[in-house]
Structure formats: structure tokens, C-alpha cells
Chains A and B, each alone.
Chain A
Amino acid sequence: MSPFSYIVINLARQIRPHEITFSGVNSTLPMLACLLAKRAYDFHFTYINVAGGVEPQPRKIPHSSSDPAIVAGSAAIFANEDFYDLCARGGMDLAYLGCAQIDAEGRTNVSAIGSWHEPKVRLPGGGGAAVMLPTAKRIVTWRTEHSPRTLVDKLDFVTAAGNLAALITPIAVFQRRNGRLALESWHPQSSLEEVVKRTGFKFDANGAGPTQEASSRERDALRELDPAFAFENEAAIKAA
């Protein structure tokens, strides 16, 4: 599995039958994961997205996860107020939310690197994360860079804290257990030692092993979604 396909497939694997699942802005990988799950898995789940789509059937997959093209084929529009309210009242089963930094408790920073008042890097902000992390049943996040500066012991700023359930990187899958991120599995070409070395916080690795390889259906679905490797080349995710 390439770093790109590893993240997309493992994001898709977080979806459970009958869930209401959401992908937001700047979330190409979760958008592809939801569309992949629709093709590769036999169970039903509801896919809604930030452009207002409900169970969309897009003829082409847009470059941006907030492009109205990802609404095509929807029989209903469920726009911004609706999906945020759904989350706030406890009706969102699984939402994918990005982060720049994440700590061992699954808290996220999307606000600033350095001090908030004089940041080294000003980040785009939570986009509702401070409300969604505590109110969604499960939040799954991903990082295309797995390093001690992204998986940190201490966040520069806590944008959101709450029901983070899983973290996917190019080399590892973490699940939150007893309030802390625990290693579930590592990329078959990586190792526990590498994950430890590249993670800024201490974690439990009890029961962890190599991640299950992609099934042929997962592989085929991803190929169908990204036949010319356009998404994969643009994401340019490195394993090392």
C-alpha cells in the first residue's frame, strides 16, 4: 500500500454499518475514503458532506472536497447549519476532522504553531471542531506527516478536545483507548520501532501488529476513484 492508499483505505475502514458519516473542507482523503467505502463494502451507511450532499453519486470526483460537484446525484441538500446542528444534537456518528498537531489524548490543534498571539504559523482554524469533537459520537483524523512535530507531547494550542476515536498516518493506525491514543497497527513495511521513534508522545502498543493489506475490492475502488493517480500525485505523501 502506498502512503496515500494506506491513509485512504484505513480512513474508510473506520466506517461502521448504518452510520451517518461526514467529510468536510480540505478533506480530500476522507472524501475519497467515504466514496471508497461505498464501493468496497457491502453494508449501508449514509455519506453526507460539507457541500451539502447526501448520498451523492458524483460522475466525477472533484479536486476539492467542498466543490459543489460532490453534491451531484443527491436527492436532498443538507447544508451547513443542518449538518452542524445534527452533530451538536448527537446525531453524527462519524466525522472526519483534520489537524496540524495531535496529542496523546486525541486533542487537536488547527489554530496556530507557536504562541497564539504571536504565532510562527497561523493555521486556518477549527471550522467547527471545538463543537464537533465533543458532540460527534466519533471523530477520526489523519496526518500525512508522521513526526514528533505533528504527533506531539504538548499542543501549541488546544483547538478542540473530545471524542477523537482514531488517527491515521502514512505508517500507523491509532485507536483511542481509555482516553489515550493506542497503536492498533503499523504499515506492513514499517515497524513498531519506527512508529515509536516518529511519535512525540508515549503510547500503548499492546496487541498491535502489521495492518491488514488492502483487499482487492479496496484496491479496485481506489483505482476507480483515482484512475490516473491525480489525487495520489498531488497529495505527494511520503512514508519516510
Chain B
Amino acid sequence: MTLVAGLRAASYGIPFQPVGGVFGSDLAQINDWKTVADPYTGKEVYVIPAIRPDVAVIHVNEVDELGNARVYGTPFWDHPVTRAAKRVLITAERLVPTDVLRLQPELTLVPAFMVEAVAIAPNGAWPGSMHPLYEIDYLAVERYMRDEPSGLEAHLEVAPEASLVSA
């Protein structure tokens, strides 16, 4: 949540963001977070400095050729991350005509003017899930997590995005 506070500060264009809680946590000292007095009540509140990522990369369900990106299901952190970053790159399950997006513009999470580049990568979230198209591939996640030198190579051999590159 402190991370989100930093991202929010960046998206709001302000230097820091007040955040609830944190008192009593050693994280404040490790990260050198400061408190300020609420100018209205005098009550101390932690403030998290802005975090402005250079690039945000998110994987979405559908994108048009202009870069309008549509997400089905839970958006997780897609909204704050794309607003905080300097540049936004989109990978998508499939390309759709802009007219399809015009039918339900509220499903478009990132408008094209914010997007720098788009790549179409079917099954690109594998071995993670992509609602509602496919679920988590737990066996692949377990294989990937094995601490073996060949693990990454074995993963890349079957990863959908890797086959796109070599094709």
C-alpha cells in the first residue's frame, strides 16, 4: 500500500502521498519514510515519496491498432501503474477493431494516447492466468520454481512469447 501511495503521488503529479497506518513498523526506518503534521488537525501522518516508473508493461485481453487496451475481470494494479509510469507498453491476447471498443468504452483501461507500443502475444500471461481465457498452469509454475540451472531454458522453450520471437 505504501508502494501504491508512491505510485499515486506520481500519477497525481505531487511529491508525496499521505498513507494510513505504518506506525510501529521498522519499514519506515529502512525506507527513510517521514511523517508530517496534518496542517488541519496537527496529527502526524506518514508520507511516501512519489514513485515514477520509467516503463509500465501490462498484459491485457484486447487492444486495437491505436493502443486502446481493454481488460476483463480484475484489473489488479493496472490502473495506478499505467498512470504513474512515464511510458506504457501493452501486450495483448488479441487485436480487435476500434469499433468493437467503441461499443463499451468503459472496458478500456488505458486509452491509446498513453500507449507507446503494442505487441500481440496470445497466451502471453502463461504460466499465469488470463481471465476469462485461461487459468493458472500450476504444473508449469512449479517447474519454473525449481532451483535448477536448466529451469529457465526449459521454461522459455515452451513459453508462448518466446516462440513468437523465434518465429
Q: Does B27 contact A71, Cβ atoms closer than 8 Å?
A: no
A133: B residues at CB distance < 8 A: 21, 24
Q: How large is the interface on B (under 10, 10 to 19, 20 to 34, 35 or more residues)?
A: 20 to 34
A158: B residues at CB distance < 8 A: 24-26
Query: A63-B138, A79-B74 known; A162 and B26 CB under 8 Å?
Result: no
Kindly state whether residue A203 has any CB partner on chain B within 8 Å.
no
Kindly state whether residue B129 has any CB partner on chain A within 8 Å.
yes
In B115-148, which residues have CB < 8 Å from any A CB?
Answer: 129, 131, 135-136, 138
B74: A residues at CB distance < 8 A: 51-52, 68, 71, 77, 79-80
Q: Does B135 contact A80, Cβ atoms closer than 8 Å?
A: no
A68: B residues at CB distance < 8 A: 73-74, 129, 131, 135
A101: B residues at CB distance < 8 A: none
Q: Does B135 contact A132, Cβ atoms closer than 8 Å?
A: no
Once bound together, how far apart are the Cα atoms of A161 and B30, in whole Å? 15
Q: Does A160 contact B24, Cβ atoms closer than 8 Å?
A: yes
Once bound together, how far apart are the Cα atoms of A87 and B21, in whole Å? 10
Mark each residue of chain A from 73 to 92: 1 if its CB lies under 8 Å from any CB of chain B, else 0.
00001011100100111000
Kindly state whether residue B20 has any CB partner on chain A within 8 Å.
yes
A132: B residues at CB distance < 8 A: 1, 21
Kindly state whether residue A175 has any CB partner on chain B within 8 Å.
no
Kindly state whether residue A21 has any CB partner on chain B within 8 Å.
no
Once bound together, how far apart are the Cα atoms of A128 and B19, in whole Å? 11
Residues of chain B having any CB pair with chain A under 8 Å: 1-2, 4, 19-28, 30, 73-77, 79-80, 129, 131, 135-136, 138
Residues of chain A having any CB pair with chain B under 8 Å: 51-52, 62-64, 67-69, 71, 77, 79-81, 84, 87-89, 107, 111, 116, 126, 128-135, 157-162
